[in-house]
Amino acid sequence: MPLFFMMINPLSKIIDLFFPRTCMACGNILMDNNQIICHTCLTGLPYTYFHADNKNLMYKRLSTFIPITSAFSLLYFQKKSIVQEILHQLKYKNHQEIGEFFGKIMANHIKNTMGYIKYDYIIPVPLHPKKMKTRGYNQLSYLCKTLAEELGSICDENLLLKIINNESQTHKNSEERKRNVKDIFQLHGNTKKYENKHLLLIDDVMTTGATLESAAKELLKINNIKLSIATLAMVQ
């Protein structure tokens, strides 16, 4: 490459030339510096548009078990789909920029929900300390921090603890899932400041809703809170 061309070209373009960044969903080379997934994958995302319906499918499912104020999922989840690949990259490959990217999109959708009530605290579903040690990060951290920033809320990763390192929910039926997540969460510290506040519980994907239900039941031990739930994706 001629030197004069390198001089007028932004450094990021030169870095891209040697280490091309690829789409988190399909692996194709990215043309745009600001994206983490390519244009084709971005336009093909299966949005739920739940923000346009506050009695959406997720709300209907969860509110039969727990008294929630609202429920929102950004995308529909299907096996072997681009959504599964994106979540895999976020959860196991430490691509926290995915959390940041989708946090902004989620916040925009949530803000446009009919009857939107501001959240005081944003609470990620926690990892057990043992898992935190082996993985090194909670994949929901950046997503929650971005949501908090965009929605003017406080991201709080200390209120809820995971006290039992339960088995994976994969390959379990609905009843086994419920048993597997019973009493695995615990409130931590003085919960007085959360009383009368609106909390938003966050997870990456909702399958049967058993984990969210278990975490929500623990949060609902706090006096007079409003509780809403949001995920990046949900199984239809």
Q: How far apart are CA 194 and CA 189, in angstroms?
A: 11
Q: Which of 3, 5, 16, 26 binds Zn ion (CB under 5 A)?
A: 26
Report in angstroms how near the CB of residue 203 gets to Zn ion at its nearest.
24
Report in angstroms how near the CB of residue 18 gets to Zn ion at its nearest.
21
38 near Zn ion, judged by CB under 5 A: yes
30 near Zn ion, judged by CB under 5 A: no
3-state DSSP assignment of residue 160: strand
Placement of tokens 């944003």 in the chain:
122
Report in angstroms how near the CB of residue 27 gets to Zn ion at its nearest.
7
Q: How far apart are CA 148 and CA 146, in angstroms?
A: 5
Task: Tell me the window of 24-32, 66-74, 115-123, 175-183 that interacts with Zn ion (CB under 5 A).
Answer: 24-32
Residue 66: which of 198, 207, 181, 216 has the closest Cα?
A: 216
23 near Zn ion, judged by CB under 5 A: yes
Is the distance from CB of 201 to CB of 123 less than 8 angstroms? yes
Report in angstroms how near the CB of residue 141 gets to Zn ion at its nearest.
24
45 near Zn ion, judged by CB under 5 A: no
25 near Zn ion, judged by CB under 5 A: yes
Task: Tell me the window of 7-15, 37-45, 51-59, 102-110 that interacts with Zn ion (CB under 5 A).
Answer: 37-45
Residues 6+ apart with CB under 8 A from 179: none
Question: How many CB atoms are closer than 10 A to CB 161?
Answer: 17
Which residues sit at the interface with Zn ion, rule CB under 5 A? 23, 25-26, 38, 41
